[in-house]
Structures are given as structure tokens and as C-alpha cells.
Amino acid sequence: MITRARNLGSFLRAAVWLTTVLILTSLQPASATEFPGPDAFGYVATMIPANLRDVSATGTFVSLEDDQVSGAIPIPFPFRFYGVPVTELFISSNGFVTFTATLDDGCCTGEPIPSASALNNLIAGFWEDLNPASPALPPGRIRYALHETVGPPGNRQFVVGFYTVHHFSSGVFPVTFEIILHERGNAIELQYGSVPSDGGTHTVGIENADGTIGLQIARGNVSFNNQGFFISLGSFEELKVARADVSFRDEPRPDKYYVRGKFILSELSNGIDPVAEPVVVMVGTSAFTIPAGSFKLKKHGRRAEFEGTVDGVSVEARIETTGPRSFNYKVRAKGVDLTDSAIPIDFGLKIGADDFGRTTIPLRGELEFREKHHHGHDHDDD
């Protein structure tokens, strides 16, 4: 947390150079968000047609008894969940996967999402008291497999499937569903075949690592039949920072920052128009809105630029098209107040109706404090 040391004649400069690092934070308080979202982090869900990948015969078999959790299963491509890189998952026999090693199998009912209970950091496909080792015939099967798709690199999918897995005790009401991780956009897909309820409380959704944020798609005496859900980070598929300079200085000289990078819009976005739509920029505790109509088009319409004052802040901003869904951005702001901003510092961008793309500016190395010299004037190296 940045806190000001008044009248000490010092300022803080944090200079950061990044290439392909994207770190998303989830520091918000607990909030219950229902389908379709977005939750406090930005995940939204949409209903999609049924499309079971069906790796019941070809996938790797996971031998689980009633109320058991598997060992670590490697995820075969880079994946981020609530912004945190995850490399392995653990399968519970009770209808969910978690990215945290645990012996808690989640018996015997699906909990609300989010909840700060011991079970967090999970994707609930159909969380209740299931039993893949039911004596009923045929026995249920849990399998996982990398599902190759036709398309450019980066389109792989990792499937965890529950096939004809029965509810505990009754040995009836078998359920078939899949939890699918997408390499592209770190999206999550839930696919359902025949998934009847036994009258118990089932939970469907996602929850972050400390149980403060989650997107609850369904909870209760629910059932599904040949349908799916697609969960992604809304309008922004990717937001990256290439360079950031953040200056924290004593009064009366205000704080300032310079941030540049790129972003990609997801397929859920209808496109952006920074000239016709308001643009919101957030760095730490500072946020301002550049009103619609403030940007001017340059470079044959490929670049939108703004220079002026917004809420007492001197702002220079640029958004430039680099592809059908890809853009570069630059923002320079002087006169902001970053008091009480957390470190790493949050950065957010919102254009029109598109949800915030969020990332943080992680600090590389130690913070450096420099004393002011030259009769109280410091040197800016913007």
C-alpha cells in the first residue's frame, strides 16, 4: 500500500518494463454475482449449444472412490484463473475441479459461490454428492484429455469429463458433463448431456482463490439437458502493459503516470469506438472518464487521440487499431492522486459498454526513493 510521508521531501518512482507478463488481481471484497455476470473480476457467462467432446473412451481414466480428490493433473498449456497462472488441477469425485491441492472433497452438498470456506479456487461443474464408484451398472467414469481443435496455434482445449456418474446412495440419476479449459483467452466451458437432479443442492460456477469473488451460474435443485455455458473475461480477451512509469510525489506536486501497451477484444465484444464512446482509465485509486466525442481521429482513421484536462487531470491518450480486434494504447496523466494505491498498482481500461480490461503494473526489483535536489526541483524523465 502506498501511504504518503508528508513533508519529507521525497518522491517515489516506479519504472517497469514488461513484455508478455499479464497479472490480474482480485482484491475486491466478497461479492455474490449471479449468471450471467460480470463478477467483480470481469468474468461473464453465456449460454451456448450442446457440444460434448466425449473423451469417455479415449481420455485418461481417473480412479476415484466416493468422496475422493485426485492427485495433481498437469494442464497441458499456459492457463490463468482469476489472473493467476495455474499449471495443474485436482478433480473431486463430487463434481468440481480445483487449482489448489486439497483433501477436501466437498461432500456432501454444493456450497454458495463465492464463499470464504476452505474450498475455493474452483470450477464447479455439478457440485453435489456424486459417486463414480457406485455399484450401479454401468459404473461412472471420470476421464481427462487434451482436445485438439482445428484452427491456429493457441486453440487447444483441456477436457475433464464426468460420464454416467451416479448420485451417492441411490445409484440412480446418472449425470454426464464436462469442464473444459480453453487455451485461447483463458476461457472456461461447461457442457452438459443428461444431468438430472436427485433433489439435492447442486452448485455450478467459478470462484477465486480466497473465496471473495465468484460467478454463480446455478445453485439448488437444478438439472440440465443438452446445453452449455461459456465463461470468459467479457469484452477484453487480453490486456497487457508494455511500459509504465508511475511517480508518487509529496504535496503540493501531484502524482503522475505513463502507461502503454496493447489489448485484444474477445468475440463477445461488438467492437469499440473511442470517438463516440466514453473512455475510462484507472490506475490505482485514480480514475477518470474522457467524455464521448473528445477523441479525434488521426492517421486515416486508424488512431484516436486526446489531449486535454479531465477532472483537473492533464491527460494525453491514444488508441490505435493494429488488427481486426487488436489495439495499442498510451495514456499519460499528470495531476492524479495515487494515495492508498496498492502495490502492485491496478490498471484498468473501459471503452463504452465494454467491461473493464484489468491488469496490474507489477514492480520489478525494489522501490527506489530519491531525495529532491537542485533547490527543491526534481528531474522528470518522461
Q: Does 244 lie in the same domain as 119?
A: no
Per-residue model confidence (pLDDT) at position 137: 59
Answer whether residue 376 is part of any domain.
no
11-25, 286-300, 328-342, 360-374: least confidently modelled range: 11-25
Q: Does 342 lie in the same domain as 327?
A: yes
Dist CA 73 CA 143 (whole Å): 11
Distance of CA 17 to the CA centre of its chain: 22
Element (H, E) at 48: strand 44-48
Answer whether residue 381 is part of any domain.
no
Residue 171: pLDDT band with limits 50, 70, 90: low
**Last residue in a domain, options 185, 208, 232:** 232
> Is the omega angle on the peptide bond into residue 252 within 30 degrees of 0, that is, cis?
yes
Q: Does 197 lie in the same domain as 334?
A: no
Dist CA 240 CA 261 (whole Å): 6
Residue 114 has pLDDT above 60, yes or no: yes
Per-residue model confidence (pLDDT) at position 123: 98
Answer whether residue 112 is part of any domain.
yes
Q: Does 314 lie in the same domain as 175?
A: no
* Closest C-alpha among 288, 295, 289, 260 to residue 274: 295
Q: Does 298 lie in the same domain as 203?
A: no
Q: Does 227 lie in the same domain as 258?
A: no
What average pLDDT does range 131-147 have in this prediction? 82
Range of the domain at 210: 43-232
Task: Output the nine-digit C-alpha cell for 271.
Answer: 467492437
The pLDDT tens digits of the residues spanning 4-32 come to 333 322 223 333 332 222 222 223 345 57
**Last residue in a domain, options 176, 203, 232:** 232
Answer whether residue 132 is part of any domain.
yes
* Distance between start and end Cα atoms, the chain: 24
Q: Does 47 lie in the same domain as 90?
A: yes
Residue 305: pLDDT band with limits 50, 70, 90: very high
Burial class (CB in 10 A: 0-12, 13-18, 19+), 136: middle
**Last residue in a domain, options 232, 256, 277:** 232
Residue 264 has pLDDT above 80, yes or no: yes
Q: Does 58 lie in the same domain as 17?
A: no
Q: Does 354 lie in the same domain as 290?
A: yes
The pLDDT tens digits of the residues spanning 57-110 come to 999 999 998 999 999 999 999 898 988 899 999 999 999 999 999 989 889 889
Instruction: Check residues 343 and 48 and name the one with the higher pLDDT.
Output: 48
Q: Does 225 lie in the same domain as 112?
A: yes
Answer whether residue 1 is part of any domain.
no
| Residue 203 and residue 124 in contact, taking contact as beta carbons nearer than 8 Å | yes
Q: Does 322 lie in the same domain as 246?
A: yes
Q: Does 307 lie in the same domain as 215?
A: no
Overall domain count for the chain: 2
Residue 346 has pLDDT above 90, yes or no: no
